[in-house]
Chains A and B, each alone.
Chain A
Amino acid sequence: MVYTTMEGALFEPTLYIVKGMCILDNDGNRVLAKYYDKDVLPTPKEQKAFEKNLFNKTHRANSEIIILDGLTCVYKSNVDLFFYVMGSSHENELILQSVLNALYESVSILLRRNVEKRILMDSLDAVMLAFDEICDRGVILDSDPTSIVGRAALRTEDVPLGEQTVVQVLQSAKEQLKWSLLK
């Protein structure tokens, strides 16, 4: 990492904004995690140590954001799941927050508002796809939960997928969102 003094520096005009995203359970174990910068936490060992540390510092204090190991981490929790988005300590915190919202909302829609570990594990494949649709190697790909879910929720319970059209899939995703907003 090239080091420049952080003092009075402008933000870097880059698309590579997200350093990592993860979901942890209420014991601090990893449910899903992705790290996007090969200079930031490159090995699984470092990542897990970081996650442990992150969890210990955040699971009791419900305060949205923390600066840890030179990373800005925004977070949000529900029942037994903790959602985190990590970025450089020299990055617009509100952009990271918007990515976290996208992640949380998408998962929430996917799980029909039952954001808890057991239900998430049942739809793990869709959540993996949502991860993939939100961020591609550190670049924010999409932050609109409706369109993310439209491209990640490809299976509905009853109708076999082969008999659904794309329009139907999108329609059902939209309905889910409406339902969630009305709630």
Chain B
Amino acid sequence: MAVCIAVIAKENYPLYIRSTPTENELKFHYMVHTSLDVVDEKISAMGKALVDQRELYLGLLYPTEDYKVYGYVTNSKVKFVMVVDSSNTALRDNEIRSMFRKLHNSYTDVMCNPFYNPGDRIQSRAFENMVTSMMIQVC
């Protein structure tokens, strides 16, 4: 369902980005990049108290006519950005939240791996599998 999923590090470089291959991937990269501004806006506006998970979920960052971009930020300022197709029967907000939660959990698992250096690109197979499952759910 998600057309593109990206994990952005604190310094705003991508740790992981993956799109459904049918589309022009560059377009998605660009969308994710522009959405980072919106994310930063939301983060600064929120102020303190980011503990509650609800606040980690940023919600719809901006919609375009074809796609909607959702954002989620962790406490360590790692951002998850998800682009979904608008034509999909509108995904319920809760579903998006749960997808982000799964992402977050998988990301945590990657972090737990002592062989992973924070800041590296994510190359974990388990993570990829999870992302794949999220991207191809409808198939």
- A and B interact physically: no
Residues of chain B at the chain A interface (Cβ within 8 Å): none
Residues of chain A at the chain B interface (Cβ within 8 Å): none
